[in-house]
């Protein structure tokens, strides 16, 4: 999916072909009484993540744009997990900030406490002509701005979940990518269409969004950690998912032949979202499979994180009032 030579030079090849995992879904503790939200939970990594949470008795909200796909996923989940599993669809279009606010409002009305939020949904290598309904670059708008607003609007119920939890914590898990290592900056004049955005191109715009995901996740940890929020970002691994749908069909078949299945891609998210050891990883970056890692050094730059957070607050202020 991404250049193996590039990551070999950066010393990251083991993230493309990780060692055998020491964590499996059978190690997840009982999640009875836990409410979990998974964006993009109807397919790929999100589906497998939702399935494992349901198997351990969590109540799971599938938040995705496509109602038909979500309903088919729910039928499949009930067949695989059990007809009595608690899985609920809430429509969420991360490329439309009004939809983000509606979804968060609905969830907060349904649940007074949320214990797990997994920001899993995303788009990759969108066409340069693709913009969100609010006029942002499709990748940054969906992957970063939409998830930022969604998380901030849900923060009251996330904090309530932390106060009510036996261990005093709520987990916020952000699915980033190996692509986060490709850049250590955010080009603010590329958030909307223009010469800078066009010059960067779709792959660099994707890299920017995944790096920004990790930066925001660390900022959440710093801002809400003392109130019980554990925020972790991660590279799920080189996984065969719908993210590759925008690739040339021939290249897609070649690339996907070398990728791991979504069941493997869900492991790191599930560890971060459920395991007691992950309480020690607040603000950190995890790598496949369920290992503590390090992102590039700029992710840990407080001034860069503060600037990005303030810009995201400014871009979403209309929807947070």
Catalytic site positions: 176, 206, 210
C-alpha span between 74 and 231 (Å, rounded): 27
C-alpha span between 289 and 95 (Å, rounded): 29
Count of C-beta atoms within a 10 Å radius of residue 44:
21
Residue closest to 14 by CA, chosen among 267, 297, 238, 283 = 238
C-alpha span between 145 and 93 (Å, rounded): 12
C-alpha span between 142 and 237 (Å, rounded): 20
- What token pair was written down for 110? 């349904």
Which of helix, strand or coil describes residue 91?
A: strand
How many Å separate Cα 154 from the centre of its chain?
15
Which residues, at least 6 apart from 9, have a Cβ–Cβ distance to it below 8 Å? none
Q: Give the C-alpha distances (Å, rounded to integers) separating 162 from 39, 59, 165, 275.
A: 20, 16, 5, 15
C-alpha span between 188 and 28 (Å, rounded): 40
């Amino acid at each position: 999916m991404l250049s193996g030579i590039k990551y070999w030079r950066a010393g990251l090849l083991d993230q493309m072909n990780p060692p055998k995992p020491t964590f499996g879904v059978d190690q997840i503790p009982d999640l009875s009484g836990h409410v979990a939200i998974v964006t993009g939970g109807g397919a790929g990594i999100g589906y497998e993540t939702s399935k494992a949470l349901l198997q351990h008795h969590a109540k799971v909200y599938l938040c995705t744009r496509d109602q038909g796909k979500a309903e088919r996923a729910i039928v499949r989940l009930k067949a695989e997990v059990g007809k009595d599993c608690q899985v609920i669809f809430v429509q969420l279009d991360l490329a439309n900030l009004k939809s983000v606010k509606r979804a968060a409002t609905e969830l907060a009305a349904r649940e007074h406490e949320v214990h797990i939020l997994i920001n899993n949904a995303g788009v990759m290598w969108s066409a340069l002509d693709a913009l969100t309904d609010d006029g942002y670059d499709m990748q940054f708008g969906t992957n970063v701005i939409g998830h930022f607003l969604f998380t901030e609007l849900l923060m009251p119920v996330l904090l309530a979940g932390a106060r009510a939890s036996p261990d005093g914590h709520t987990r916020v898990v952000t699915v980033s990518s190996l692509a986060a290592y490709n850049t250590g900056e955010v080009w603010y004049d590329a958030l909307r269409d223009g010469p800078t955005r066009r010059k960067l191109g779709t792959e660099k715009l994707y890299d920017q969004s995944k790096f920004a995901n990790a930066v925001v996740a660390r900022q959440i940890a710093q801002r809400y950690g003392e109130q019980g929020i554990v925020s972790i970002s991660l590279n799920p691994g080189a996984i065969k998912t719908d993210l590759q749908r925008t690739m040339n069909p021939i290249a897609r078949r070649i690339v996907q032949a070398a990728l791991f299945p979504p069941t493997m891609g869900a492991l790191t998210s599930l560890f971060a979202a459920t395991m007691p050891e992950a309480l020690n990883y607040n603000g950190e970056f995890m790598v496949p499979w369920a290992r503590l890692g390090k992102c590039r050094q700029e992710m840990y730059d407080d001034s860069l994180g503060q600037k990005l957070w303030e810009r995201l607050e400014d871009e979403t202020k209309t929807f947070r009032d």
